[in-house]
Amino acid sequence: MQHDWMSAQVRYYLESLVPPRPDELMKMEEYAYAVNFPIIGPSSGLFCYQIARMIGARRIFEMGSGFGYSTAWFARAVQENGGGEVHHVVWNEDLSQLAQKHMQALGYADIVRFRVSEAVEALRETPGPFDLIFNDIDKRGYPDSLPVIAEKLRPGGVLIIDNMLWQGWIFNDEDQSADTEGVREATRILTGSPDWIASLIPLRDGMILAMKK
């Protein structure tokens, strides 16, 4: 059984605390809600932006970037940190093209590098190190992606993984599906490893924030 672990009241309150956003970013939110496209949303977007700003991120790699909503938050941080690059990676050419239009409208086109590819392979082929890596691929792929991420992330760099509460499915012991088990296993690895300092942040659908030692 799926759980509604966070009340609508809490969600709306968290989103009400997010400062005003560019019109283009709000258009992206409206589009996502209209077509039921899963984005990280404004409160998680602000969190990602804040972390990227705090560590002075200049090189960011996104694994599973959708149509660019999270990319926009990261690109803003990189721009304000003095410039650099954000790698936007998706399987779908249409999503990549849509993201390019949004980044152009937001003024981030010169920061974002677009690639249509399987995300783990793209990261493996891209020279590191990176300051921050954002992981939002198929959940069953989370555990196997971690060694590649660890290799590409600089010491002191940050990994953010989305959907780590997985709409409450992780609480259902009867759910042994590959995606749910992928979320559970990645959580066990990161929180139990001496190579990472990791916390699970209960924003929206849950985010792991992990620093590579």
pLDDT at 1: 39
pLDDT at 86: 98
Q: What is the pLDDT of residues 153-177, one digit of tens each?
A: 999 999 999 999 998 899 999 999 9
Please determine, for residue 47, whether its predicted confidence score (pLDDT) is greater than 60: yes
- Report CA-CA distances (Å) from 116 to 63, 121, 157: 11, 11, 25
Please determine, for residue 62, whether its predicted confidence score (pLDDT) is greater than 70: yes
Question: What's the chain's average pLDDT?
Answer: 95
* Angle (CA) 147 108 133, round 5°: 10
Average pLDDT in the 27-38 region?
95
Domain borders along the chain are 8-212
**How buried is residue 15: exposed, middle or buried, by Cβ count under 10 Å (0-12/13-18/19+)?**
middle
Please determine, for residue 46, whether its predicted confidence score (pLDDT) is greater than 80: yes
Average pLDDT in the 102-107 region?
98
pLDDT at 170: 92
What confidence tier does 2 reach under pLDDT thresholds 50, 70, 90?
very low
The domain made up of 8-212 has a fold known as Rossmann fold (3.40.50)
DSSP letter (8 states) at residue 155 = E
pLDDT at 8: 84
pLDDT at 4: 60
pLDDT at 5: 65
Cα gap 45→165, rounded to integer Å = 17
pLDDT at 156: 98
Please determine, for residue 31, whether its predicted confidence score (pLDDT) is greater than 50: yes
